[in-house]
Structure 1
Amino acid sequence: MDQGGGRMGAATRRAGPVSHPEGAAEAQALRVLSTMAFPEEWLAKLGAVSPRLVVTQQTAAAVAEIPDAVWAETDVLYTGSTFPDVDRAPRLRWVQLDTSGVDHVTHTPLWRSDVEITTLNGVAPVNMAEFALMMMLAFGHRLPLMVDHQRRRDWPSPADRWDRFMPFELRGATVGLVGYGSIGQEIGRVAHALGMRVLALRRSGAGRGETYRVPGLATDDAKPDRVYLPDQITEMLPACDFVVLIVPSTPETRHLMNEAAFRAMKPSAVLVNIARGGVVDEAALIRALNEGRIAGAALDVFENEPLPLDSPFWAMPNVIISPHVAGFTPHYHERVMGIFAENLRRHLAGEPLLNRVARERGY
């Protein structure tokens, strides 16, 4: 997410006091380039990491908009989507992405280099878990139907109220989590607190480095009731009342939810997609919804965004659409800077970074 407020020229600033003589300081400087504007409070937080940091801020969408001289001396890059060739930035050793996903990086020269890449994984488990819970409650308590009646100013008869608005209680229901990273674990914790049964589909955790965790986030009760491997998805789906998608976008997860997956789901089940649009075969989902093979879908992400005006999803009464907002949180800035500052400290100390991308996995 680009937090910069507009176009600006380059501005080189030290992110903290420097007590060394100028020559010594320059010799030891770690030069950080950000392609988005950091607010003053972000710079202050970075300044507390080390006086060796020299931060250059230059908002730019294209590599060519940044002078070659700046690229040539950059050691660390903070960016959302501005990726140089390694020849242009020979000193570059690490890129901190301003995103949690990496699908926009995998086809760039950066991906094929040995430059370390880290993400903002772990920034949004609290808000995304609440979002998923909201959607499960919305369908469980017939909120779309209530909104429809309100728009039509239609107060149903007593018999209709009983038949149409009988809720589906979450206590005792089963949620299947397709993906069990920090977001999936927080959804599982909240679901357990409500008395739900939690199933999780996940890859082996082998080879994954340490990831960022929101301070104070509990993990003791985050263990699922049963774990499935990716090739067991059609074994898990028939048991689920709700299926929540929270996997990264990779070749392996593209159209993971396909015709076979929807045929494996209960007719009463609801799909919640807060992952990436490409995880769902949208044509297969539309057929499943129209044919009553699943009860509904809450969709925050789509294969094409903005969602085209002629998409059938807009008119479906059993679909809730949100404009890719599940990841929004008022605590975004503090968590992002928490990750970046800690990773800068680790980089200077020669320690493994948080949220390292494993290229062989694709995320």
Structure 2
Amino acid sequence: MPKINKVVTTLWYNKEDMRALRNVFPDADFRYVDFYDKDRLTEEVKDADVAIVLGDVDNCLLGENCLKWIHCDHAGLNGSARPEVFARGIPVTGAAGRSAPVLAEHCIYFMLQSCYHTKELLTAQAAGHWGVEGSNSWRGLYGRTAGIIGMGNNGRMLSTRLKALGMNVMGFDKSPIQGADELDVKLCGNDGDTIDPILKEADFVILTLALTDETYHMMNYGTFCKMKPDAFLVNMARGGIVCTEDLLKALNKGKLGGAGLDVLEEEPLPADHPLWQHPNVYITPHCTPQVPHRAGRSIEIIRENARRFEADEPLLNLLKPADALTTATKSGWARLTNAGLTKEQVARLDLDKFLGKRDWTDPSEWM
């Protein structure tokens, strides 16, 4: 059976969580390295079995070393799905699913914004007006149809909640959907199904799938024209799945009723972009509230994968060739972690802004 003898990490957790992570590997030599110290990271992984990193797989992890498993502590693995990573042959895993419950809530938040015409109600409230014209025709979620495209962790969390609200729920995934008995309709791309039935029937079309070369601009003007003219789109997946220009065109031409967008192709969205002012569009700046103790959920994924690794079982959230994205670009903290910054440059940055607050300066405080 494989044995984990040495672990190297660059994670940015607080003391309690770093201690918990360290205790996942009680018998291993456990080393912490600052994410920006690529020279030391290169040296430390030479004889390490596992690297648990903050960003994507850095090239310094692909040299001459003994690594047998790399874990990237975030959900999307597009930035790691590069030819040189696959060529190296080291299994790479991610943290998909750790925020699924609140991502499902965020979808419902957008859907309720649409049902309750929040912008109109807030405008009326600010003006002291009692009642909004046309409100007697508004409809809630109950009895309506939701179509979920992507039945992974997020899609499954959402489908159970929508069914509990009395909705008809359709689900599409590339692979066969196992379980998920709450779904009224199951569609499988590998069996020849398409998303067309969802586009035709759903009042709400919700995106919870991965961004890949296959799904890039999957939602375009032609797709929107297949939807109900009053349908509402929710994108909680990745911005590149939706062609922004086509979305705006569909909204302006009455091919789509509205949209709830937490992710966009360009982030941040420019202040003068017309989507900000569109009456039927609700935007949140890629900011889903965290689940209680998100780091703890990440650690449980790592713990289970450590068990699977030593038991020689398949790992959870494993990077696969389909995760590759030709148009992939890094933004925010992901770009920061792989930017090759010097210690001096890092000292001038407010890392807490990007990575959250940390209550220690030396690993001896939690080792």
Deviation at 1:49, TM superposition (A): 3.6
2:149 paired residue among 165, 168, 178: 178
> Please, which moves more after superposition, 166-175 or 327-336?
327-336
CA contact (8 A) 1:62 1:82 kept: no
The separation in 1 between residues aligned to 2:142 and 2:251, in whole angstroms, is 25
Identity across the alignment (%): 31
The 3 A distance-change label for structure 1 pair 359 and 223 is farther
What's the counterpart of residue 51 of structure 2?
77
Residue 322 (structure 1) aligned with residue 284 (structure 2): yes
3-state SS of paired residue (2:7): strand
Unaligned runs of 5+ in 1: 1-27, 207-218
CA spacing shift, 1:220–1:163, aligned 2, 3 Å:
same
In structure 1, distance between residues paired with 2:32 and 2:144? 50
Q: Please give the secondary structure, in 1, of the residue aligned with 2:321.
A: coil
CA distance in 1, matches of 2:301, 2:281: 35
Which amino acid letter does the alignment assign opposite residue 53 of structure 1? Answer: A
Inter-partner Cα distance in structure 1 for 2:268 and 2:136: 32
Cα distance per residue 1:180-201 (max 9 Å; x no partner): 1121111111111111001111
What TM-score does the superposition give when structure 2 sets the normalisation length?
A: 0.80
- 1:352 aligns with 314
Give the Å deviation of 1:312. 1.6
Cα drift, residue 165 of structure 1: 6.1
2:228 aligned to 244, 266, 285, which one? Answer: 266
Higher relative contact order (CA 8 A, sep 6+): 2
SS of the residue corresponding to residue 301 of structure 1 reads coil
Instruction: Return closer, same or farther for 1:327/1:96 CA change in 2, 3 Å cut-off.
Output: farther
**Whole-angstrom distance in 2 between the partners of 1:198 and 1:61:** 45
User: Residues of 2 paired with 1:163 and 1:201: CA distance?
Assistant: 34
- Relative to the length of structure 1, the TM-score reads 0.80
State the match for 1:188 in structure 2. 159
Structure 1 residue 85 displacement after superposition: 4.6
Pairwise CA RMSD: 2.4
**Match for residue 335 of structure 1?**
297
For residues 38 and 190 of structure 1, the distance between their equivalents in structure 2, rounded to whole angstroms, comes to 31
Q: 1:67 to 1:297 in 2, by over 3 A?
A: closer
Q: Does 1:224 align with 2:171?
A: no
Give the deviation of 1:348 after TM superposition: 2.8
Q: How does 1:1-363 map to 2 (within 5 A)?
A: 30-61=5-36, 63-64=38-39, 66-79=40-53, 80-85=55-60, 88-107=63-82, 109-151=84-126, 153-155=127-129, 161-164=132-135, 166-205=137-176, 222-230=181-189, 232-326=194-288, 328-360=290-322, 362=324
User: How far apart are residue 82 of structure 1 and its match?
Assistant: 4.8
- Structure 1 partner of 2:344: none
Residue 238 to residue 67, structure 1, CA distance change in 2 (3 Å)? closer
Q: In the comparison of the two structures, how many residue pairs are matched?
A: 319
The separation in 1 between residues aligned to 2:289 and 2:72, in whole angstroms, is: 15
Letter in 1 for 2:16: E
CA separation in 2, counterparts of 1:241 and 1:326? 23
**C-alpha distance in 1 between matches for 2:76 and 2:52:** 15
Cα distance change on mapping 1:171 and 1:276 into 2, 3 Å? same
Report the structure, 1 or 2, having the larger helix content: 2
